[in-house]
Amino acid sequence: MTELSDLQFALLVTLPVLLFLLVIVVFPLGYAFWLSFHSTRFVDGARYSFCGFDNYIAAWQSPGFWNAVAVSLHFAMVSTVFTLGIGLMIALILARIGRGRGFIFSLAFLPWAISDYATGVIFRYVLGGRSSIFTTLSYLFGFNTRVNLLAEGIVIEGLALGFAWHLAPLVAFFLLAGIRTIPVRLYDLAELDHCGPWSKFRYVTLPYIRYSLFVFTTISCVFALKTFELVYLQTGGGPGIASATLTYFIYKESILHLNLGYGAAISLYLLLLFVALSLFLYVVWGRKEV
């Protein structure tokens, strides 16, 4: 029986994964690329006609597309700040708790276990208009004012709250793991130097979690850019087009208007935005951490 070389064995072991990636990633991406160069008509079945770069040019010249880009970047930025801020706060609080930490963290981790669909429905009623918890509190304390955190001027922040509520527990889990690797003697030395809470965080805690913060900044930005269920269920892209992100714009063009080629072109623009944003974060921050 012939023995396999190390290279042959490695190829044999990775072949199922490569086939899986080919089917799940490469084929859909290739099909979207092909579709973006065609216009689609649904008359007597689907009919495709080659149109070159027309879909890309149409998207580039569309005010709706650029509004969606601006909304997506705004949402990604606010969501990342909220997610990292809440996640870091949870991690720092849990790091100081002795007894019952596991139980409390289990409760704090529950939002991550809830689906995006459920999160969107919950926050639509928690933040939106007549049914919002803030409207209830307003009437309870006699102000009798309707508080809508999904109104046009602050709808992105309202969406970001739902996003952060869902993702922050995962961020807290990894940040807490990093914090617990910090030697206690470093905090003891900081105490001897009469360091306050901010100095301890800046010079002791932060260096140990900087890389985790970079990783989750990137993850949060990418997750925010690809979020669809939350936008669809919480605001429906409204009011008007105030929360119409790129994913919602793709849904509207591809599914509602059946303009598949145009939607595919926009989805590839979104892919380029993923890559550009990830490279930007790596160049300005991540390269220093590696």
Q: Is 226 helix (H, G, I), strand (E, B) or coil?
A: helix
Picking from 30, 49, 53, 31, the residue whose alpha carbon sits closest to that of residue 39 is 49
On whether the CB atoms of residues 80 and 280 are closer than 8 A, the answer is no
Q: Is residue 20 part of a domain?
A: no
Q: Is residue 157 part of a domain?
A: yes
Q: Is residue 7 part of a domain?
A: no
Range of the domain at 73: 63-289
- Give the bridge partners for 46, in sequence order: 42
Q: Is residue 55 part of a domain?
A: no
Picking from 127, 129, 145, 133, the residue whose alpha carbon sits closest to that of residue 230 is 127
Q: Is 47 helix (H, G, I), strand (E, B) or coil?
A: strand
Question: Is the confidence at residue 81, as pLDDT, over 70?
Answer: yes
Render pLDDT for 177-217 as a digit per residue (tens, 0 to 9).
888 888 888 887 888 887 888 888 888 888 888 888 888 89
Q: Is residue 48 part of a domain?
A: no
For the chain, what is the domain count?
1
Q: Is residue 100 part of a domain?
A: yes
Render pLDDT for 23-39 as a digit per residue (tens, 0 to 9).
787 888 888 899 989 88
| CB burial readout 94-123, b (16+ within 10 A) else e | bbeeeeeeeeebeebeebbeeebeebbbbb
DSSP annotation of 269: H
Picking from 166, 167, 168, 175, the residue whose alpha carbon sits closest to that of residue 212 is 175
Q: Is residue 271 part of a domain?
A: yes
Domain harbouring 173, CATH code? 1.10.3720.10
Q: Which amino acid, one-letter code, is at 271?
A: L
Render pLDDT for 232-289 as a digit per residue (tens, 0 to 9).
988 888 888 888 999 999 999 988 888 888 999 999 999 999 999 888 888 877 666 5
Alpha carbon 39 to its chain centroid, in Å, reads 31
Place of tokens 């309202």: 158
Q: Is residue 41 part of a domain?
A: no
